[in-house]
């Protein structure tokens, strides 16, 4: 039996989620590996602040996506087809839901007029913090489901409700100035009115103060918390194994920085994105709600997610071409001074 056929058979015949023990050594190796990749990206590839070109972002996106997809082979070699299928399904769900987060970052950077050459540094620390927050959410979510079965149906109903909201909302509804987190930061932490390079904190007149870049970082983390409320329950619909859920989240999130510089100026070209994300969330919500009666094979989940994403992208690009959409300037996301 070929590996591909074995993967499909395991995915379709499996009546339960993958379940395996992960030693402390494996967990440590995983966290060290993820940290090493992030530090190499920061200290070697992006050691000096610079404006990231569309070509550079495209190359880095291919690299990060290749790493994320390649980990499917690791899961298959280590734990078999069921685990590999759950991982790639979780990766696709997180990757697709994270695209909406990318466009919100673009709104934040525009609102705060973050210089383009400093945006990567904010996203680096933002992604690092997001990984820690996701780990907390994932272990808490798995623990809740294992202890209280009814929580699964709460998650499912919440995802269906959220699906309708996402399918109907537009990017115009994002208003950073109304965000309570921003108001709290400005009230509690003394902040300078100008940027000081890549510094999050600086000294003015002998007083230690935060820079606007710190405020942007807090806002990025706050938005990730909101998106995690949707994405973590969604991934728990296709896997309950903490290692699978966390690794799929981690590899999807790590590539978001390059994806941001690739897509930030293209929000108008993906006009049907919210509808597609709403359909995906609605699907996984229904999958959770019916899990007590029918365990949907991971192969079906993969097929639905892939088809919805493909239809969403193709329909959006066709509509943009029909309306005469022009080339997008990748450098539209920031200016050189704070508004």
Domain boundaries, the chain: 3-10+22-147+171-267
Distances (CA, A) of 300 to 261, 284, 305, 321, 326: 32, 11, 9, 32, 37
* φ, ψ of residue 191 in degrees (nearest 5): -130, 140
| DSSP one-letter code for 41 | I
Q: Could you report the per-residue pLDDT of 223-253, keeping only the tens digit for each?
A: 777 777 777 888 888 888 999 999 999 999 8
Q: What is the pLDDT of residue 336?
A: 37
Polymer length of the chain: 339
Query: What gap in Å lies between CA 192 and CA 200, rounded to an integer?
Result: 10
* Residue 124 buriedness (CB in 10 A; 0-12 / 13-18 / 19+): middle
- pTM of the complete model: 0.76
CB neighbour list of residue 157: distance below 8 Å, 6 or more residues apart: 285, 289
Q: What is the pLDDT of residue 179?
A: 65
Helices assigned H by DSSP within the chain: 3-13, 24-40, 54-79, 81-111, 119-147, 150-168, 180-188, 212-235, 242-254, 256-263, 273-289, 298-322
Query: What gap in Å lies between CA 69 and CA 94, rounded to an integer?
Result: 13
Q: Model confidence at 162, in pLDDT bands (50, 70, 90)? A: confident
CB neighbour list of residue 24: distance below 8 Å, 6 or more residues apart: none
Query: What gap in Å lies between CA 159 and CA 165, rounded to an integer?
Result: 10
Report whether pLDDT(25) > 90: yes
Q: Could you report the per-residue pLDDT of 174-213, keeping only the tens digit for each?
A: 556 666 767 777 778 888 878 887 888 888 877 888 888 8
Distances (CA, A) of 19 to 69, 152, 284, 302, 338: 21, 17, 20, 19, 50
């Amino acid at each position: 039996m070929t590996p591909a056929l074995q993967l499909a058979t395991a995915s379709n015949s499996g009546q339960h989620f993958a379940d395996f023990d992960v030693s402390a050594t494996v967990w440590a190796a995983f966290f060290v590996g993820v940290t090493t990749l992030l530090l190499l990206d920061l200290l070697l590839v992006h050691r000096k602040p610079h404006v990231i070109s569309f070509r550079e972002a495209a190359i880095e996106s291919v690299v990060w996506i290749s790493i994320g997809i390649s980990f499917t082979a690791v899961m298959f070699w280590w734990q078999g087809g069921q685990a590999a299928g759950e991982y790639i399904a979780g990766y696709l769900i997180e990757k697709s839901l994270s695209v909406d987060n990318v466009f919100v970052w673009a709104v934040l950077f525009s609102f705060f007029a973050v210089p383009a050459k400093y945006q990567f540094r904010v996203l680096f620390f933002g992604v690092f913090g997001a990984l820690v927050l996701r780990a907390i959410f994932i272990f808490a979510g798995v623990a809740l489901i294992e202890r209280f079965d009814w929580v699964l149906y709460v998650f499912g109903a919440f995802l269906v409700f959220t699906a309708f909201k996402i399918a109907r909302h537009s990017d115009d509804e994002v208003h950073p100035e109304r965000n309570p987190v921003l108001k709290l930061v400005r009230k509690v932490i003394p902040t300078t009115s100008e940027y000081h390079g890549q510094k999050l904190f600086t000294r003015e007149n002998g007083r230690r103060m935060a820079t606007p870049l710190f405020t942007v970082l807090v806002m990025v983390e706050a938005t990730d918390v909101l998106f995690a409320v949707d994405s973590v329950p969604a991934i728990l619909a296709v896997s309950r194994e903490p290692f699978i859920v966390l690794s799929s989240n981690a590899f999807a999130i790590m590539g978001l920085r390059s994806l941001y510089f690739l897509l930030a100026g293209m929000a108008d070209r993906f006009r049907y994105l919210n509808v597609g994300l709403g359909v995906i969330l609605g699907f996984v919500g229904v999958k959770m709600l019916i899990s007590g009666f029918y365990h949907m094979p991971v192969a079906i989940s993969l097929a639905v997610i892939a088809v919805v994403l493909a239809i969403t992208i193709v329909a959006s690009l066709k509509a943009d071409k029909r309306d005469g959409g022009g080339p997008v300037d990748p450098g539209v996301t920031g200016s050189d001074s704070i508004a």
